[in-house]
């Protein structure tokens, strides 16, 4: 059974007397344990789609199911990380990571054991008692990702989490995310504007049109796993990058 199935999902917003269409009816699937990316022009509706999947918005039409459940009450069925890490500045790294488990009312002792295990496993134990202001941008993103995983490790919605980082830090975080994903066996739906990032991380890539968005193309990334940055220089990856960039440039120009 797929983790996520969208069929004919559409969305419009009212602006005064006008109706602004954001999403045309679109279909999308994420399989169990699959890493899927969404790329498309800025403002095309990717974040709106995430809000619908997370249960923060309801679609105007179509159907949506998570693990076969089509209930409109979807809050808590995904771990949702927005573009900004949104760490609480008065809480330490450990306390921020615990937040998701606190929301789920996991017993404190059990929550601490789980959080400390993951902090140690993913190289953050030495920073457990630090506050967010003392961390680099890449470290803050890792803490936010770990918090998201502890809230829901089965299905993650990641909205361009590395977009504000410099190139080297971004690559480090990408590899860290791949390691985390392989460890927890999560299904991931990932928004990015970086075609190379999508190719490096994904099993499949959905390319969205300008608003009102529709699915232009679905591409399977057939690079071997586990992935490493050197694969982006392979002929298949270069060809795929050129195809996707050409498609996005044409769409952005419309």
The 10s digit of each residue's pLDDT in 64-114 is 999 999 988 888 889 998 887 789 999 999 999 998 787 778 888 888 888
Write down the domain spans for the chain.
4-78+153-253, 83-151
Q: What is the DSSP string of the chain?
A: --SEEEEEEEEEEEETTEEEEEEEEEEEEE-TT-EEEEE-STTSSHHHHHHHHHTSS--SEEEEEETTB--S--TTSSEEE-SS----TTS-HHHHHHHHHHHTT--HHHHHHHHHHHHHHTT-GGGTT--GGGS-HHHHHHHHHHHHHHH-SSEEEEESTTTTS-HHHHHHHHHHHHHHHHHHT-EEEEE-S-HHHHHHH-SEEEEE-SSSB-EEEEEE----SS--GGGGGSHHHHHHHHHHHHHHHHHHH-
Q: In this predicted structure, what is the pLDDT of residue 247?
A: 87
Mean pLDDT of 215-225: 94
Architecture of domain 4-78+153-253: 3-Layer(aba) Sandwich (3.40)
Q: In this predicted structure, what is the pLDDT of residue 85?
A: 77
Q: Residue 135's closest CA among 88, 86, 170, 93?
A: 93
């Amino acid at each position: 059974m797929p983790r996520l199935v969208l069929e004919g999902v559409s969305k419009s917003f009212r602006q005064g007397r006008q109706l602004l269409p954001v999403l045309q009816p679109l279909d999308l699937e994420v399989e169990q344990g699959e890493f899927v990316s969404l790329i498309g022009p800025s403002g095309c509706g990717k974040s709106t789609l995430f809000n619908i999947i997370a249960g923060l918005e309801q679609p105007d039409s179509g159907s949506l199911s998570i693990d076969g459940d089509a209930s409109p009450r979807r809050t808590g069925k995904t771990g949702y990380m927005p573009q900004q890490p949104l760490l609480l500045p008065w809480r330490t790294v450990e306390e921020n990571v615990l937040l998701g488990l606190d929301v789920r009312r996991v017993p404190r002792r059990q929550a601490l054991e789980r959080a400390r295990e993951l902090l140690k496993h993913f190289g953050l134990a030495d920073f457990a008692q630090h506050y967010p202001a003392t961390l680099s941008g890449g470290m803050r993103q890792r803490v936010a990702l770990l918090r998201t995983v502890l809230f829901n490790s089965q299905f993650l919605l990641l909205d361009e989490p590395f977009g504000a980082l410099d190139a080297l830090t971004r690559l480090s975080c990408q590899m860290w995310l791949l390691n985390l994903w392989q460890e927890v066996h999560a299904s991931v739906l990932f928004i990015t504007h970086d075609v190379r990032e999508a190719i490096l991380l994904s099993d499949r890539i959905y390319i969205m049109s300008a608003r009102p968005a529709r699915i232009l193309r679905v591409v399977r990334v057939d690079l071997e796993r586990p992935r490493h940055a050197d694969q982006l220089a392979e002929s298949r990856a270069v060809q795929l990058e050129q195809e996707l960039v050409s498609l996005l440039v044409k769409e952005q120009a419309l």
